[in-house]
A and B are shown apart, each in its own frame.
Chain A
Amino acid sequence: MSPLDRRQFLTRSAALIGTTGLGGVAGAVAEAQSQASSPTQTTAAQARQTLANELATRVAFDAEHQAGILTPAQAQSSFVALDSLAPDRSTLVAALRDLSTRARSLAQGDTVGAEELDDPPPDSGILGPVNAPDQLTVTIAFGASLFDGRYGLHAMRPKGLERMPNFSHDNLEPTRTHGDVLLSVCAGQRDTVTHTVRELMRSVAGHLTPRWRIDGFQSARRGPTPANNPRNLFAFRDGTANPDVDDERLMDELVWVQADSGEPAWALGGTYQVVRTIRMHVEFWDRVGMFEQQNMIGRYRVSGAPLGGRNEFEDPRYDLDPEGKRIPLLAHIRLANPRTPQTADQRILRRGYNYDRGIDEAGNLDQGLVFVAFNQDIQRQFATVQTRLEAEEMVDYITPVGGGYFFAPRGSGGPGDWVGSGLFV
C-alpha cells in the first residue's frame, strides 16, 4: 500500500467508524465539547476527542503484506509465542484460520454479541459493548519448529528460517525463547492489546498454547520537534536511522521476500521477523558517566545527534573519522550501521518496544527492549549486524534473554482467506 493510500485509508476508516459503530463515542465527545466552557473543560474535551479519533482508527487486516510491519508503531504491544498442540494438520489449519478470523474482526472493530444468559459471553467485554479498532494490528508469524515432522511442512520451510542461535553474551531462557507461532499484537491503548490477546488465545484454546509473552510500550515523542524519535530505557533516541517504509523499492530490497530468492512460493511477499527480549541493566547504566554512555552509543544523549554533530538526523560521516576519534570504532551506531555501500543491504527495519516487567531477585528493575526487526534475509541482515555488535562495549549492560526467529507470511487476501493459507495449498 502506498503511503498516500495508507493515510487516506486510516482517515476514511476513522470517519466511517465515527458515523457508524462508534457513533456513541463520537456523540459523547461532541456533547462534551458543546458543554465545555472553562479552559480546563475545553482541554478535557479535546483530549476525549483525540482519544475517540484514535480509538476509531482502523488498520486493514487484509492486505498484500500483513499489517504491523510497515505500520507506524502503535503505543502498546504484546508479543505472544504459541506452541501447537494440534494433533494433525487439519486441526492446525482450523486453529490458524480461527486466529485470522478473530484478528480481522477485532481489527475491523465489532460489537460484543450476546448469547443466552446461561452461556458464557462470547467476548470478555472488557472494552464495553463496542470493540473499537484502536489501530489494532495482529501480525502472525511462524517459527522454525512448526516445520518439523508433525504437520508435513518440512519441505515448505522458508530457507532462512532456523532456530535462533545463542549469540555471544546471550543468556536465552528456554521458557522465553522460540515457539511455533508468534502473535505481535499492537494498538493504541493497553486495554485494546490486553483484550485482543485474551480473545485470540480463547479462539485457539486447546490447539495453540502459550509459550512466552512480553508486553511493550513506546515512549512518548517528547520533542523538541515532532520529528525527533522517542527514547529507549537507556535514554537514547531509537529508530533514527530506520529505512523509509514508504520507499517501496527499498522495502523490496530489505524487507519483502522476492520471487528470485529461491524461497518457496508461499513465502513470497512475506518477511523474516526477529524478536529479541533484551534485558537492559538500567541501574548499572545509570551508574556510568555520561561521557562513557555517549561513547558507547556514538550519539549525544540529549539531542540524539552523532558525536560532533548538531542534530539527530545528521550523517555521522564515518568516512571523516576512520580512527574513531570522534565516534569510537566500537560505538553502537557505527557497528549497527556502518553506512558503507558494502553494508547497505544489511540494513533492517526495526519496530521495537520498551518493556517493564517488575523487579528481579536482586531488587533491580527488569526493564529492557523488545527488539523487533523485519528483514528479507536473516543471515545477510540481522545475523551479520548482530555478530558485529558482539564487539560493542554496551554488551556489559544488556543481556538478551529470549525471543526467536519467525517468518511472517504475506497478508490475508480477504474474509475467505487467512494468514498462512499458502502454506497448506
Chain B
Amino acid sequence: MPSPRTPFAVKSSLLVLGAIALLAAAAFLGSALTPDGSSKARRFSVSETASKSVPNPLAGRLSKVYGTNIPASRYGTEVADLEDDGTNTAGEQISELSPLPAAAFTVPENEYRTYSRRWIARAHAEAILLEHALVDGARMAAMSAWEETWNDYLHLGAVYLSGEAAVANSAIDGTPGEFPGGATDPRFTGLHRIEIGLWGGQSLSSLIGLDVGLQHDLAKLSGVVARVEITPLEYATRSHEIIEDAQRDLLSGMDVPWSRQGVLGTAAGLAATEEVFHTLEPLLSGRENTEGEVRAELLMLNEVLASIRARHHGRYPILSELSIYERERLNGYVAGALSALEEMPGTLETKVRSPVPKLPQPSPAERATEAAARKVAEREL
C-alpha cells in the first residue's frame, strides 16, 4: 500500500509543477518576442507560430504603429504577416513598411543638432588645452589632449555629410588619402595631421599653427551644423554608417596608423550611434522589431567596450594592446550591431519606390549591337 504523501511532499510537487508551468509560459512568450535568428526575412517567430487572433503582447505600451492608423494590437500578427509577404493591408505590393512622413524627422534632427553642437564645444575646449600642451612642449600631455579632442569630435558621428559640413569635416578629421599629395599635402590639416606630428616625433611648436586652425574649423563647423539640412534618408542611414566607418577605418587601423586609437574611436562612434538611435526611437516604435534588435545589440557592444576599458585600467587600449579574446569579442559585437543597424534605413523609409522606367524595345540596329557584345563575351570562353 502506498504511503500517504506528507504535506511537505505535496507542497514540493506543487512547487515543481508551478515552476514547470512558469517556464513553459516564459518559453512561449520568449518564442513570440525573440527575433528568429534562422531567417533574416522573417524576424518574428510570432509570425510562424502564433495564430492571427493572438493580440500583440507589446500593445500595452503602444497604441498604434507610428505614422499609420494601424492599431498596435494588430501588429506582430496580421500586419507583420502581410509585410513579410510583400503586401500591405490593402493587398498592394510593397517593398517595405508604410513610408513615414518626412516631417517626423524634424524633432530627431533638431535634437541631434543640439547634441552635436555640445560635443563640438567640448572638442573646441580640448583643442585649446592641446594648444597649451604644445606651447609647453609637453608631448605626453599633448597626446592625451589630442585623444580627448578627437574622442569628443567623433561623438558627432560625422558621416554622410555634404556641402559646407563635408568641407568642414574634411578640414577637421580628413585623412591623407583625401589629398593628392598625401600626408605632405599642404591642404591636409586637422586632427590627423596633428596626430602624425605628435606620434611621428615632429617638433611640438610646428603643430601649434595646425591646432589653432583646428580650433577655427571647429568653431566654423558649429555654425554649419546649426543650419545644415539633413534628409530623412541621410539621417536614418547615419545610424548605421557611423559604426560602419568605425569598423572600416578605425578598427582596421587604416585611419589611425600613428596613434592606433581605433578602440577609443569606435567607442566614440558607438556613443554617437546611441544618440542618433535615441532620437529615432519614437519613430521606430511598432515598426518591425528593429528598435528591440538594435537596442539589444548596442547594449552588448557597450558592455564589451566597458569591460575592455575596465581591464585596461580605465582607458581604452590601442589596437595592438587588445588581447585575442578582447579583439574577437569587439570585432564580433561590432559586426552584430551592424547587422541590426542595417535595418534602420529601411524601417525608417519615407518614400515609396517608384518603378524603374522601362527601356523601349531595341531597334534592329540596337539588336545588332547587342548581338555583337554578346559575341565578344562568348569569345572569352
Contact = CB atoms under 8 A, between A and B. Distances in A.
Nearest to A170: B177
Interface in A213-271: 221, 226-229, 239-246
B164 interface: no
A159 B174 CA distance: 33
A241 B342 contact: no
B180 interface: yes
Nearest to B380: A72
B182 A166 contact: yes
A307 B346 contact: no
Contacts of A307: 356
A73 interface: yes
Task: Give the interface size class of chain B.
Answer: 35 or more
B374 interface: yes
Interface string B249-271: 00111100000001000000000
A228 B369 CA distance: 15
B59 interface: no
Nearest to A327: B356
A289 B377 contact: no
A341 to B, nearest CB: 15
Contacts of A283: 335, 338
A309 B378 contact: no
Interface stretch (B4-12, B17-25, B359-367): B359-367
A284 B240 CA distance: 10
A306 interface: yes
Contacts of A169: 177-178
B251 A313 contact: no
A259 to B, nearest CB: 27
Given A169-B177, A362-B251, A309 B381 contact: no
A115 interface: no
B357 interface: yes
A320 B360 contact: yes
B244 to A, nearest CB: 5
B179 interface: yes
Counting chain B CB atoms within 10 Å of each CB, the highest count among A171, A289, A362 belongs to A362
B68 interface: no
B203 interface: no
Given A362-B248, A363-B328, A313 B377 contact: yes
B372 to A, nearest CB: 7
Contact of B247 (A166, A313, A364): A364
Contacts of B178: 168-169
B358 interface: yes
Given A3-B379, A172-B177, A244-B376, A361 B252 contact: yes
B86 interface: no
Interface in A366-425: 399
B380 A315 contact: no
Interface string B77-97: 000000000000000000100
Contacts of B129: none
A243 B346 CA distance: 38
B240 A399 contact: no
Nearest to A247: B376
Given A170-B177, A283-B335, A284-B248, A326 B378 contact: no
Contacts of A171: 175, 177, 254
A121 B33 CA distance: 67
Interface in B324-381: 327-328, 331-332, 334-335, 338-339, 342, 345-346, 353, 356-360, 362, 366, 369-381
B319 interface: yes
Contact of A221 (B262, B356, B381): B381
Nearest to A221: B381
At the interface, is chain A mostly helix, strand, loop or mixed?
Answer: loop
Given A284-B248, A287-B339, A314-B370, A361 B377 contact: no
B359 A227 contact: no
A315 B378 contact: no
Contacts of A399: 248, 254
Nearest to A169: B177
A52 to B, nearest CB: 18
B359 A308 contact: yes
B373 A313 contact: yes
Contacts of A289: 345-346
A325 B369 CA distance: 24
A362 B373 contact: no
Contacts of A229: 377, 380
A399 B175 CA distance: 13
A244 to B, nearest CB: 5
Interface in A171-217: 171-172
Contacts of A308: 356-359
Nearest to B366: A315
A202 B328 CA distance: 39
B327 to A, nearest CB: 8
Nearest to A73: B380
Contact of B357 (A281, A325, A361): A325
B95 A165 contact: no
Nearest to A300: B356
A170 B179 CA distance: 9
Contact of B381 (A226, A241, A291): A226
A315 B248 contact: no
Interface string A68-112: 000011000000000000000000000000000000000000000
Contact of A227 (B331, B357, B366, B377): B377
A336 B122 CA distance: 43
Contacts of A5: none
Contact of A291 (B179, B338, B353): B353
Given A287-B339, A361-B252, A326 B240 contact: no
Contacts of A239: 377, 380
Counting chain B CB atoms within 10 Å of each CB, the highest count among A165, A172, A228, A283 belongs to A283
Nearest to B159: A396
A19 interface: no
Nearest to B370: A313
A396 to B, nearest CB: 8
Contacts of B370: 311, 313-315
A227 B244 CA distance: 37
Nearest to A309: B359
A116 interface: no
- Counting from the closest, the 3 A-B pairs by CB-CB distance are A363-B331, A362-B251, A287-B342
Given A169-B177, A361-B319, A364-B248, 9 more contacts: A168-B178, A171-B175, A226-B378, A244-B372, A287-B240, A287-B244, A308-B359, A315-B366, A363-B332
24 contacts: A72-B379, A72-B380, A166-B180, A166-B182, A172-B177, A226-B381, A229-B380, A239-B380, A240-B377, A241-B373, A244-B376, A283-B338, A287-B339, A289-B345, A308-B356, A308-B358, A308-B359, A312-B377, A314-B366, A320-B359, A325-B357, A362-B334, A363-B331, A363-B334
Interface of B: 95, 175, 177-182, 240, 244, 247-248, 251-254, 262, 319, 327-328, 331-332, 334-335, 338-339, 342, 345-346, 353, 356-360, 362, 366, 369-381
